[in-house]
A and B are shown apart, each in its own frame.
Chain A
Amino acid sequence: AQSVTQLDSQVPVFEEAPVELRCNYSSSVSVYLFWYVQYPNQGLQLLLKYLSGSTLVKGINGFEAEFNKSQTSFHLRKPSVHISDTAEYFCAVSPLSGGYNKLIFGAGTRLAVHP
């Protein structure tokens, strides 16, 4: 079985400051890793994904994440946030399963960017 823990339920930050949203996972099998963003009253949008290869992955809107296998972590970072980054962020894993990939999500981190 897999589980995802997002260590902070809320992260307040000032505009143009850096931010890190933390994610740890547990799995007995190999998994793919993802970060999704959800704006109010909308569905989920994929920010970035780690499938294999370089452990530092870059996504949309200036976000990046680093996969650390030994610490089973996949933290999301952005060097300078904007007001428009205010949203709910979800870390997720998907076990390798021959194409029938379900997503297991964390509880989410609410990023609030203040002017």
Chain B
Amino acid sequence: DAGVTQSPTHLIKTRGQQVTLRCSPKSGHDTVSWYQQALGQGPQFIFQYYEEEERQRGNFPDRFSGHQFPNYSSELNVNALLLGDSALYLCASSLRGTGNYNEQFFGPGTRLTVL
């Protein structure tokens, strides 16, 4: 049973460019969340997708956008890249149930470097 997978593993871009990161959730999961982890810091919540809609959003500008596909996979898009966007981007998947808690499983991340 494959866990959460992310692609690419590493990415180098220059300021002003646009980037797309991809995530495939764990088998059976229907919800995908994205987090940004800057060097030496804890992950910060970007947004969460369920049923192809953004359900929650953290404190990130509109340059950060996402999409969820019918097969539950997801993309994170960042426009007009800034040096400060350099970070490890983590994807987490979960199964939305009827209770309050749905455990999130994390992928290995995509390391984005903006030059």
Contact = CB atoms under 8 A, between A and B. Distances in A.
B106 interface: yes
Q: A interface, how many residues as a size bin? A: 20 to 34
A103 interface: yes
B100 A90 contact: no
A43 B106 contact: yes
A51 B90 CA distance: 24
Q: How large is the interface on B (under 10, 10 to 19, 20 to 34, 35 or more residues)?
A: 20 to 34
Interface in A7-57: 32, 36, 41-46, 49, 51
B47 to A, nearest CB: 9
A100 B58 CA distance: 13
Interface stretch (B62-70, B71-79, B91-99): B91-99
Contact of B109 (A43, A92, A98, A105): A43
Given A96-B100, A103-B45, 8 more contacts: A4-B42, A43-B106, A44-B106, A94-B101, A99-B97, A99-B98, A99-B99, A107-B41
14 contacts: A6-B42, A32-B100, A46-B103, A98-B100, A100-B56, A100-B96, A101-B104, A102-B33, A102-B45, A103-B33, A103-B43, A103-B45, A103-B104, A105-B35
